[in-house]
A = this chain, B = another copy of it.
């Protein structure tokens, strides 16, 4: 740690802006989902990712990866979702270590109910305030940051759903 180059004023402001934007945006989304569907954003993501998977099911490991959750966190979350009746656990047929999490019909219904409001909120908070050009250049910048944060592309940032 030789000579820690301090942040200049522009950097300072950029850093602040990033911190506040990501916090306020995440809070807005969380509030909306909690209010309208009674679940946090992380839980919504679990349902959403399951709904897009073949058979509306994934192993816990696969699911943990796509929602970027630790195994532990996912396990707790799926406990809750199972209690709510939105997800069901099954044993994997051939690999008996694996557990399969499957979206129930009820869970799917909840998701279908929740999605429009969620998408509307994303649009309102993220896309309405930006021009198309701003959005595209924003995306490029985010990709540059992602490249540095996650060189191996662990993150499933290919075109997928919300």
Hey, which bits of chain A sit against chain B, CB under 8 A? 1, 4-7, 9-18, 20-26, 28, 68, 115-117, 119-120, 122-123, 125-130, 134-150, 155-162
Interface centre among A119, A128, A138 (most CB of B within 10 A): A138
**Residue among B10, B120, B135, B146 making CB contact with A135, cutoff 8 Å:** B10
Interface SS of chain A = helix
The answer to whether B119 touches A7 (Cβ under 8 A) is yes
10 chain-A/chain-B pairs, Cβ below 8 angstroms: A4-B119, A5-B123, A13-B159, A14-B135, A20-B68, A20-B157, A21-B142, A22-B22, A24-B149, A129-B145
> Taking the full assembly, how many copies of this chain does it contain?
2
Q: Is there an interface contact between A24 and B146, defined as CB atoms closer than 8 Å?
A: yes
Distance from A156 Cβ to chain B, minimum over Cβ atoms (Å): 8
